[in-house]
Amino acid sequence: MSQLSTVCQAMSVAAGLALTGAVSAQNAPDGDPYAWLEDVQGDKALDWVKARNAKAEAEIAGTPAFKTLEAQIRAVLDSDAKIPSVEKIGEYYYNFWKDKQHERGLWRRTTLAEYRKPEPRWETALDLDALNKAEGAKWVWHGADCLRPKYQRCLIALSPGGSDADVTREFDLATKQFVQDGFFRPEAKGGLSWIDEDTVYVFTDFGPGTLTSSGYPNIVKEWKRGTPLASAKTVYEGKPGDMYIAAGRDHTPGYQRDFVNRTIAFYNDELYLRNADGSLTKVDAPNSAQKGVHKDWLVLELREPYEAGGKTWKPGSLIATDFNDFMAGKRDFTALFEPTDNAALAGSTWTKDHLVLNVMEDVKNRLIVLTPGKDGWAKSAFVGASTIGTIGVGAVDADDSNAVWLTATDFLSPTTLSIAEIGQKPEVLKSNPVFFDGSKDVIEQHFAASKDGTKVPYFLVRPKDLAFDGKAPTLLYGYGGFEVSMTPAYSGSIGKAWLEKGGVYALANIRGGGEYGPRWHQAALKANRHKAYEDFAAIADDLVARKITSPQHLGTMGGSNGGLLMGNMLTQYPEKFGAIVVQVPLLDMKRYSHLLAGASWMAEYGDPDTSDWSFIQTFSPYHLFDANKTYPATLFTTSTKDDRVHPGHARKMMAKMEAADKDVRYYENIEGGHGGAANNAQAAHMNALAYTFLWNQLTK
């Protein structure tokens, strides 16, 4: 599909505003005594952070048990036996690898013949640790875009410390060196994408007025090699209120096309075909649809009803038509997938001759193969796919091959990676090591009845000999937003930190996620946000009703939008939990749209500067906090370098709870971006803090 086929693809090219975050006189909140903590890099704010970090470290990290767990998690993350996932670039298979010796990572390559071996020989293309040492930097890898068909020149994105804002530098795979006087984009949210060897699209911060209110690029230009960035020619400029503007070329041989993507908001974007004369023609499909162009085909994944060709297509459907016919005005679509009450499309991937659909039925995957031909689309089963756990599928080389990568995993089964030619039995190539003893556990799926009667699924991993006496330390994890599905996966960290100790782990599939397609997500948008929180609370109640645990032994954890979920569990359902970990969260929902990338999420939560505040305030933890209430033990974690969700959310909530003398602690990593950690050592430390805190609280 086109590199601009989805909002997420357009945004994943890069993301974000330069990290200042200081409160200005124009937008400082009235009457907020903790507004000064929004000054991300301010000396006063950082002194406050360091003092609380030290206190949290002293409480949680000072024991031998903590040091042991941290070392165990670090060993999992650094393991040389992990599957090195690869991407085919030209004749080589590339992998980005981090371990104890390579803290920031190696970009390396091998051949398929070597990759099949237990111990492949790797050739280093770029050593990020060596680069950092040479440049006195702290670069974090953000990916590479290599130009077809030669695959010699690449555009490499590097982030200083892990923030979304990054730089783009041109790299030569033949010499394994950055190109002197090559393409270079200064630090900002945005990116470069190849047009040809001497031309790129650039979408970035061009100066005042060129960023959206979310801090993303609002203008895309065409930039010629050897000319200053300032002379780049404007291709498209967004309108006030837009979210993200980007462009790219589809380099599929014989089908080269250029597209401009105007993202107005999440689930609301326009796709334009750029013609040879530079003019733009809109691909007149619904703004809410996910639009993909691949060879002859336009494929639409619908989020709302769509009337076309004399038929109304249901939300959640995947429909296809000839792209050129569509651009000429025809609307003759074929249904490739239609949702049911328990089935939704989880994803799709093109190979040379086929389209493979990944369908979820009650949060369990199955694969379907579709093959376009003169007589329409033929449908067949995928040969040899796993029937248990979570299945992932991706093309090896959509231009030249019908092979796909297959991953299979569940909570107790280490991930396996296979390669499969469509129609043939998959060949298992790699398997992750067993990081913990899961032989004493069992996986179950249950359904809890939410407040409005909706049946909400969740997964449970528990000891086979569980006593069902309500005393098991239980960790409930959730997210519930942006149509993101929570599916079973093997985690050595959770295994060592929780399951191996006899703990119970539960994963919630609440509304707001994508487990049942667009309808499941849309059921908890804006004024209906409370349904996601009611779903999560219902699962907590179900765990107690089944005598698996009890409130004093039930903990919960979530990050980002899941951090907002945790904030609402804390403030609306404090009696249901014994401990809560709130990671990189949104919490001040009156301010969120004014902080960093916050304005880009108004399609999810609403606009607090309008009448929407009437419902937003009902799920704004910063405003729901009541100093007179009793709250469970709480740990906030975030990152100074998070330029997506402002660390001020966690800082201010911590300060408010601390002032009311609540049982609360705080840890802020100085690096790490929205992921929280910039390397395995930091990730191990932060994970160990969270799990140690929860275990200590829930086993009292």
- Write out the two tokens for 460: 């449970």
Query: For residue 238, is it within any domain?
Result: no
Residue 376 domain boundaries: 340-432
What was the pLDDT predicted at 20?
Answer: 32
- Write out the two tokens for 111: 């051949």
How confident is the model over 272-329, as pLDDT tens digits?
Answer: 999 999 999 999 999 999 999 999 999 999 999 999 999 999 999 999 999 999 999 9
Assess whether 404 and 474 both reside in one domain.
Answer: no
Query: For residue 58, is it within any domain?
Result: no
Query: For residue 55, is it within any domain?
Result: no
Position 17: which residue type?
L
Alpha-carbon span 278 to 258, nearest angstrom = 10
Task: Give 358's contacts (C-beta < 8 A, 6+ positions apart).
Answer: 345, 346, 347, 348, 349, 365, 366, 367, 391, 392, 393
Position 267: which residue type?
Y
| Residue 562's CATH number | 3.40.50.1820
Total of domains in the chain = 3
Q: Give SS3 for 671.
A: coil
Of 82, 143, 93, give the one whose Cα is nearest residue 431.
82
Alpha-carbon span 54 to 225, nearest angstrom = 49
For residue 16, pLDDT beyond 50 = no
pLDDT tier at 674, thresholds 50, 70, 90: low
Alpha-carbon span 186 to 200, nearest angstrom = 15
What was the pLDDT predicted at 675?
Answer: 64
Of 364, 637, 387, give the one whose Cα is nearest residue 509.
364
Burial of 381 (0-12, 13-18, 19+ CB in 10 A): exposed
pLDDT tier at 665, thresholds 50, 70, 90: very high
What was the pLDDT predicted at 664?
Answer: 98
Assess whether 420 and 356 both reside in one domain.
Answer: yes
For residue 208, pLDDT beyond 50 = yes
Query: For residue 33, is it within any domain?
Result: no
Among the options 193, 413, 560, 620, which is catalytic? Answer: 560
For residue 132, pLDDT beyond 50 = yes
- Is 623 a catalytic site residue? no
Q: Give SS3 for 461.
A: strand
Assess whether 638 and 561 both reside in one domain.
Answer: yes
For residue 600, pLDDT beyond 70 = yes
Angle at 9 between CA 458 and CA 616, to 5 degrees: 55
The total number of residues shown for the chain amounts to 700
How confident is the model over 21-38, as pLDDT tens digits?
Answer: 333 333 556 689 999 999
Beta bridge mates, 245: 262
What was the pLDDT predicted at 476?
Answer: 98
Assess whether 378 and 314 both reside in one domain.
Answer: no
What was the pLDDT predicted at 18?
Answer: 28
Of 114, 160, 124, 123, give the one whose Cα is nearest residue 19.
160
What was the pLDDT predicted at 386?
Answer: 81
Among the options 553, 646, 674, 685, which is catalytic? Answer: 674
How confident is the model over 388-415, as pLDDT tens digits?
Answer: 789 999 999 999 999 999 999 999 999 9
How confident is the model over 322-378, as pLDDT tens digits?
Answer: 999 999 999 999 999 999 999 999 999 999 999 999 999 999 999 999 999 999 999
What was the pLDDT predicted at 214?
Answer: 87
pLDDT tier at 678, thresholds 50, 70, 90: low
Query: What b-and-e string marks burial along 108-122, b requiring 16 or more CB atoms within 10 Å of the CB?
Result: bbbebeebeeeebeb
What was the pLDDT predicted at 679?
Answer: 76
How confident is the model over 470-527, as pLDDT tens digits?
Answer: 999 999 999 999 999 999 999 999 999 999 999 999 999 999 999 999 999 999 999 9
% of residues, the chain, pLDDT over 90: 89
Cis peptide before 149 (omega within 30 of 0): yes
- Is 2 a catalytic site residue? no
Q: Give SS3 for 155.
A: strand
Give the end of a domain, one of 374, 402, 432: 432
Paired sense of beta strands 244-250 and 257-265, if any:
antiparallel
Query: For residue 345, is it within any domain?
Result: yes
What does the pLDDT average to over 130-135?
Answer: 97
Are the C-beta atoms of 588 and 622 separated by less than 8 Å? Answer: yes
Assess whether 586 and 528 both reside in one domain.
Answer: yes
Of 563, 573, 635, give the one whose Cα is nearest residue 601.
563
Element of type H or E holding 681: helix 680-698
Position 40: which residue type?
V
Q: Find the distance separating the first CA and the last CA of the chain, reported in whole Å.
A: 53
pTM score, whole prediction: 0.90
pLDDT tier at 677, thresholds 50, 70, 90: low
Assess whether 292 and 344 both reside in one domain.
Answer: no
Assess whether 666 and 556 both reside in one domain.
Answer: yes
* DSSP state string for 385-401: --SSSEEEEEES-TTT-
What was the pLDDT predicted at 2?
Answer: 33
Give the end of a domain, one of 432, 461, 494: 432
Alpha-carbon span 687 to 203, nearest angstrom = 35
- Write out the two tokens for 89: 């670039």
Burial of 187 (0-12, 13-18, 19+ CB in 10 A): middle
What was the pLDDT predicted at 163?
Answer: 85
pLDDT tier at 12, thresholds 50, 70, 90: very low
Query: For residue 20, is it within any domain?
Result: no
Assess whether 484 and 522 both reside in one domain.
Answer: yes
Are the C-beta atoms of 495 and 420 separated by less than 8 Å? Answer: no
Quote helix, strand, coil % in the chain, to nearest 5.
25, 35, 40
In the sheet that 334-337 helps form, which strands lie side by side, from edge to edge?
A: 290-294, 297-301, 318-322, 334-337
Q: Angle, to 10 degrees, between the axis of helix 561-572 and the axis of helix 530-545?
A: 70
Residue with tokens 């065409």: 222
Cβ neighbours, 10 Å, residue 150? 11
* DSSP state string for 606-667: --TTTTTHHHHGGG-HHHH--TTS---EEEEEEETT-SSS-THHHHHHHHHHHHTT-SEEEE
Assess whether 488 and 557 both reside in one domain.
Answer: yes
Average confidence score pLDDT of the chain: 93
Alpha-carbon span 691 to 475, nearest angstrom = 9
Give the end of a domain, one of 339, 357, 373: 339
Task: Give 551's contacts (C-beta < 8 A, 6+ positions apart).
Answer: 540, 544, 575, 576, 577, 578
Assess whether 506 and 641 both reside in one domain.
Answer: yes
Alpha-carbon span 80 to 119, nearest angstrom = 10
Position 132: which residue type?
N
The DSSP 8-state label assigned to residue 3 in this structure reads: T
pLDDT tier at 596, thresholds 50, 70, 90: confident
For residue 587, pLDDT beyond 60 = yes
Beta bridge mates, 663: none
Query: For residue 172, is it within any domain?
Result: no
Query: For residue 105, is it within any domain?
Result: no
Assess whether 322 and 389 both reside in one domain.
Answer: no
Are the C-beta atoms of 552 and 533 separated by less than 8 Å? Answer: no
Assess whether 507 and 390 both reside in one domain.
Answer: no
Alpha-carbon span 41 to 19, nearest angstrom = 9
Of 658, 649, 592, give the one whose Cα is nearest residue 38.
649
